[in-house]
């Protein structure tokens, strides 16, 4: 298989994390999220990581240029030579153009947009509980999370402040504003595939895998 790079888009609560886990296992390529890249760079103390750390410590926002350089560095890693699932990057047409330059020939195979209605996204997010130690995700109806203790590491399971209804509404509005141009960017290139993310996770994965196969990408 040639290098397979898939951009995964979708509002908060669309199921991007679940799908990336399924697809990473199916295609044997890494799930690469912007947050993970930033944390890994800071932890490693690399030159880029020190730049990120200084920006964050000063309360600033990591620039597009710095994020692009981190992504380029991530694609140099051995596990990304077969490709990657990109989650949270690119966020803008400018970053998408930079990604084309990073990848060179072949570029992005497909941009997959997981579409869900806002009310479903709100319901999913407001029921989410997260372990403060390891990041494991639970639902408020999940027996494992009822005790408030993570079954994986023993950490506290809490509802994050950005999963409260008011915060969710603000995040969804921001997503709609910022992502529309990116959807247009990939649509104009014939690379956008929209998938109904409201269904069972396995059904969504099957649709994505079929869309990738239909393009002869895997």
Active-site residue, 124 included: no
Active-site residue, 171 included: yes
Say how far apart CA 27 and CA 193 lie, in whole Å. Answer: 18
Active-site residue, 3 included: no
14 DSSP 8-state letter: S
Active-site residue, 11 included: no
Q: Is 46 helix (H, G, I), strand (E, B) or coil?
A: coil
Active-site residue, 16 included: yes
Catalytic residue, from 39, 43, 139, 160: name it: 160
Contact call for residues 122 and 163 (beta carbons, < 8 A): no
Which tokens is 212 given?
Answer: 């990738």
Catalytic residue, from 3, 11, 16, 124: name it: 16
Contact call for residues 95 and 68 (beta carbons, < 8 A): yes
Nearest to 98 by CA among 128, 75, 121, 132: 75
- Planar angle of CA 68, 73, 76, nearest 5 degrees: 135
| Parallel, antiparallel or unpaired: strands 157-158 and 128-131 | antiparallel
Catalytic residue, from 74, 124, 128, 129: name it: 128
Give catalytic residues, as residue numbers.
16, 91, 128, 160, 171
């Amino acid at each position: 298989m040639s290098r397979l790079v898939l951009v995964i888009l979708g509002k908060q609560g669309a199921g991007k994390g679940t799908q990336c886990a399924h697809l990473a296992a199916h295609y044997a390529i890494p799930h690469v999220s912007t947050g993970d890249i930033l944390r890994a760079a800071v932890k490693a103390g690399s030159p880029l990581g020190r730049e990120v750390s200084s920006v964050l410590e000063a309360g600033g926002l990591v620039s597009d240029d710095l994020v692009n350089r981190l992504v380029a560095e991530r694609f140099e890693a051995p596990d990304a030579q077969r490709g990657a699932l990109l989650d949270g990057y690119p966020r803008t047409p400018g970053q998408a153009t930079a990604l084309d330059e990073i990848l060179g020939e072949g570029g992005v195979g497909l941009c997959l947009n997981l579409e869900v209605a806002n009310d479903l996204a709100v319901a999913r997010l407001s029921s989410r509980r997260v372990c403060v130690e390891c990041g494991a995700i639970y639902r408020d109806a999940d027996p494992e999370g009822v005790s408030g203790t993570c079954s994986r590491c023993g950490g506290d399971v809490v509802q994050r402040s950005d999963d409260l209804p008011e915060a969710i509404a603000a995040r969804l509005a921001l997503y709609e504003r910022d992502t529309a141009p990116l959807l247009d960017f990939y649509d104009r290139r014939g690379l956008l595939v929209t998938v109904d993310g409201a269904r069972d996770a396995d059904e969504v994965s099957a649709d994505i895998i079929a869309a990738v196969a239909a393009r002869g990408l895997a």
